[in-house]
Each structure stands twice: as C-alpha cells, then as structure tokens.
Amino acid sequence: MKPVRVGICGLGTVGGGTFNVLTRNADEIARRAGRPIIIEQVALRSPNPECDLTGIKTTHDVFEVARNPDIDVLVEVLGGYDVPRELVLTAIANGKHVVTANKALIAVHGNEIFQAAHEQGVIVAFEAAVAGGIPVIKSLREGLGANRIEWVAGIINGTGNYILTHMRSEGRAFEDVLAEAQALGYAEADPTFDVEGIDAAHKLTILASIAYGVPLQFEKAYTEGISRVTFDDVEQADNLGYVIKHLGISKRTEQGLELRVHPTLIPKERLLANVHGVKNAIAIMGDAVGPTLYYGAGAGSEPTASAVVADLLDVARDIATDHHYRVPYLAFSGIGEDDGGLPILPMEDIVTAYYLRLLAVDRPGVLARVATILSEQSISIEALVQKEATEGELVPIILLTHSCREKQMNEAIRQIESMADIAGPVTRIRVESLDEQE
C-alpha cells in the first residue's frame, strides 16, 4: 500500500512530540492505518534537542512544505493566526490534507478554511486543538452523533488549571506557577491567552460549533480569565464547600446558546472540581446518553502529539473516500452557514448563581443595604459570611446567591459599588452546579 507522506511545520513542543511518536510507533501506526505514515519533510527554525532528524529532509521555509508535490498531509504546529492561515490555505490549494493543533486558527479562520477544504475535497483535522490528548472532538462529533446536545462544560486550559491547582494546594503565587507551566511547555507563546481565557474561548467556540451545528463565532464568546482570582477567593470558596475552576460553558436555552468562559465556583464533590494540574475534563450532556465525561492531559508534548497522530491515522484511512461521505469538519453537513435557530446569547441574558466578595466599612446597616439592593433586583441570598474585623478595618463580606439573570446582577453590583461604605470593586465569580454525575 502507498505510504502517506507527512510534512511537519514547526518542531517545538507539539511538532517535536509528533515527530517522536510517529517515528517510535511507526509499525503499530502502519498496522492501524493499513499503510505506512512516513515523515517526508520537516520545516523548522531551530533544532529540537529531543528529535533525531538524521535522514530527514528539512527546510526553513514552511511554504516549501505546502507546495511540495511529494507531501500528502501538512501538519501545522507553529501557533499564531496569520502565517498558519496562509500556510494552511496554500496547502489546501495544493490539494494537501491538513492536520493542525492550532485552536486560534480554527476558531477565528475555521469557516474560511473549511470552505476552501470542501471545495478541494481535502480533510482538515484538529483533534489536538481542543483539550490536547483527550479525544473530545471525535467523541462529540462521532460518538455522540445521535444526541441533541444540551450543554458542554469543561476545564479546557491546562495552564490555567495548573495555576489554580498549585495556588490552592501550595499557596503559591500566580506568577511563580505560571513560569513553571511555561517551562513545562503547556502555555501558549503569549501566556495571556491562557490566563485571560482567550485560549479557552477558542476551544469552547470549536466545541459549540460541533455540538450544536452553528458557525464558529469566537467574537461572540464572553471571555474572562483567572488573573483576578486571589488566594483569598480560593480560601473563601473552600470554606463554603466549593472549588474555583476556570470553565468553558455552552448551554442550549430556548432563546439561543450561552457561550462563556470564566472562573467558576463548583461544589467540591463534583468530578470537575477534582480535575487537577494540567489535566482537562469536559462534561457533555446529550438527551439520549445523559451526562458523559472526558478526562486526560490537556497540554504537553506527547499527549498533544497523540491527538495529532490520531488525526493522521484518520487521514490515512479516509484518503480514498469520496469527500462528500466523510465525517464533516464540524460534524453537521454544510459548512455551518446557518445557525440552526440558535443565536449566541448576549452575556446579560445568561442565568447563573454568583459568589460575591465585598469589602465594607464595619458599620451597622451596611449589610442590610446590600441585602435590600439584591432583593430589589429579585436576587436571593443562599449563604453569607462576614469575617471579624479589627477596629477601623474593612471587613470582607462573602455572599452566595441563588440563580438570577446577569443583567440584574450587573445592576446590583453597580449599586453596591456606589455605596459610600463599600471599598473598591466587588469580586464576582459565577457558580455552576451542573450535575455531570446525575
């Protein structure tokens, strides 16, 4: 059987892992694919000490790979938006299949890329782009194909979860743990993508398109990161029986789709609350199957390579199939031009419970006024903790509310922040009690 010839563009964390897994497991992979998958060329800027390139054709020009007539599949593992977009479109125009780990590329330029690929009849596969080594795209797109998906919620940024885990378990500072995650190869080239929630929003955008058959709409995702979560919030949440996790959440409602990424309080006993370090987990609710959970390494060299190589196997198996009969890029037939009657909802319309932390002057009547403001917005309080203050100091007040509309909470926070006896901004962390164990 003719081998499938691969060109790898980028030999960093993921590219290096892909090179090594493909080389090390070549025989096993060939038996699975029914033909050998060989590395024909590697485009790199600098050597990767983990990879032995003896006998491999190399280049510094990634576009040489996209135009190389001896290559069947281009693997894009550079990172970024612009060069990868041009590279992938060039490869597609040259009739090559594409495998990428780049969620920024798919979330922002995916609609255009899939259209071009469809016209050329080539495959674009991106399992590594969401939750690294966890085969969540395949599970959602194929394994859950019978279901109407009700919600998807998960920890989908390894770096962020690594930081929250080590802040909680060791009381370490944010910057210190971030530097460690970067050294381990988990973080994006620009780590603000990890800590400000952008990377998770890219991934959630992709998951929502596959779950509900809507076009990729990254620009409509609500995005909030973990950079403002303090050790005090982590401790307060712990005292109340919760763990703070950074979640991507997309729920189907009667009005449309929620698409939001933010720190979230989760009850300690939930499975998602017990996903630590660089591990990711995604809970998906289907109407037929019920709740399901996918867990594993969300970042790192070989775990991510595991997904890249699995996509190469799919390409090797599907290469001879008429492209009209292949699994569609985003699971639904058509390139996602129609939103199936599911618009993405503005953040003001979502309904959730909240954790609030306020700093108040220790004076009678402050708490009563806060309670009145909340009740005027029809927000009821589930729990309240007021810490002891020493004379003249500000006291932290912690509140847990029942569910309300975000719009009402915005108004309540605006009024609370304008009270003379409240110092500084109110911290707000949303609470989710999604029952993935139901």
Ligand X SMILES: N[C@@H](CCO)C(=O)O
Ligand Y SMILES: NC(=O)c1ccc[n+]([C@@H]2O[C@H](COP(=O)([O-])OP(=O)(O)OC[C@H]3O[C@@H](n4cnc5c(N)ncnc54)[C@H](O)[C@@H]3O)[C@@H](O)[C@H]2O)c1
User: What is the binding site for ligand Y (CB under 6 A)?
Assistant: 10-15, 43-46, 62, 77-79, 83, 101-103, 128, 132, 185-186, 188-189, 299-300, 304
The residue nearest ligand Y at its CB is 12
Catalytic residue among 96, 138, 203, 279: 203
Q: Does 188 bind ligand X (CB under 6 A)?
A: yes
Q: Which of 97, 95, 99, 96 is nearest to 76 (CA)?
A: 99
Residue 103 in marked binding region: yes
Assigned token pair, 318: 């599907």
Q: Does 398 bind ligand X (CB under 6 A)?
A: no
Q: Which of 55, 54, 111, 51 is nearest to 77 (CA)?
A: 51
Where do we find the tokens 């609710």?
A: 285
Contacted entry of Na ion, ligand X, ligand Y, none for residue 194, CB cut-off 5 to 8 Å set by kind = ligand X
Q: Enumerate the β-bridge partners of residue 42.
A: 8, 58
Residue 207 in marked binding region: no
Q: Which of 392, 396, 376 is nearest to 384 (CA)?
A: 396
Q: Does 298 bind ligand X (CB under 6 A)?
A: yes
138: how many CB neighbours lie within 10 A of its CB?
19
Q: Which residues contact 226 (CB under 8 A, 6 or more apart)?
A: 160, 163, 164, 195, 197, 246, 263
In the complex, the smallest distance separating the C-beta of residue 298 from ligand X, rounded to whole angstroms, is: 5
* Residue 17 vs 158, nearer CB to ligand X: 158
Q: Give the DSSP per-residue string, 171-225.
A: ---HHHHHHHHHHTT-S-SSTHHHHTSHHHHHHHHHHHHHHH-----GGGSEE--
Contacted entry of ligand X, Na ion, ligand Y, none for residue 127, CB cut-off 5 to 8 Å set by kind = Na ion
Identify whether 251 is a catalytic site residue: no
Contacted entry of Na ion, ligand Y, ligand X, none for residue 296, CB cut-off 5 to 8 Å set by kind = none
* Residue 44 vs 312, nearer CB to Na ion: 312
What amino acid is encoded at 134 in this protein?
Answer: I
Residue 79 in marked binding region: no
Binding pattern for the stretch 305-344 against Na ion, x by CB under 5 A and - elsewhere: --x-------------------------------------
Helix, strand, or coil here: 167? Answer: helix
In the complex, the smallest distance separating the C-beta of residue 349 from Na ion, rounded to whole angstroms, is: 30
Among 48, 102, 111, 159, binds ligand X (CB under 6 A): 159
Q: In what order do the strands lie in the sheet with 37-43?
A: 57-59, 37-43, 4-9, 73-76, 97-100, 124-125
Cα separation, 245 vs 226, in Å, equals 9
Residue 417 in marked binding region: no
Residue 23 in marked binding region: no
Among 18, 100, 111, 157, binds ligand X (CB under 6 A): 157
Based on its alpha-carbon atoms, the radius of gyration of the chain, rounded to whole angstroms, reads: 24
User: 424: exposed, middle or buried (C-beta count within 10 Å: 0-12, 13-18, 19+)?
Assistant: exposed
Residue 14 in marked binding region: yes
Cα separation, 116 vs 122, in Å, equals 9
Residue 404 in marked binding region: no
Assigned token pair, 343: 């618009």
In the complex, the smallest distance separating the C-beta of residue 67 from ligand Y, rounded to whole angstroms, is: 14
Q: Enumerate the β-bridge partners of residue 361.
A: 394
- Segment near ligand X (CB under 6 A); pick from 48-56, 65-73, 180-188, 359-367: 180-188
| # chain residues binding ligand X, by CB under 6 A | 11
* Residue 37 vs 65, nearer CB to ligand Y: 65
Residue 188 in marked binding region: yes
How big is the CA angle at 37 (ends 31 and 43), to the nearest 5 degrees?
155
In the complex, the smallest distance separating the C-beta of residue 154 from ligand Y, rounded to whole angstroms, is: 15
Contacted entry of Na ion, ligand Y, ligand X, none for residue 75, CB cut-off 5 to 8 Å set by kind = none
**According to CB under 6 A, which residues from 190 to 229 bind ligand X?**
194, 199
Among 22, 131, 316, 416, binds Na ion (CB under 5 A): 131
How big is the CA angle at 271 (ends 266 and 277), to the nearest 5 degrees?
85
> Are the beta carbons of 113 and 85 closer than 8 angstroms?
yes
What amino acid is encoded at 233 in this protein?
Answer: D
Residue 342 in marked binding region: no
Contacted entry of Na ion, ligand X, ligand Y, none for residue 157, CB cut-off 5 to 8 Å set by kind = ligand X
Residues marked as binding for NADP(+)?
A: 9-16
Residues marked as binding?
A: 9-16, 103, 188
Which residues form the interface with ligand X (CB under 6 A)? 132, 157-159, 186-188, 194, 199, 298-299
Q: Which residues are catalytic?
A: 203
Residues marked as binding for NADPH?
A: 103
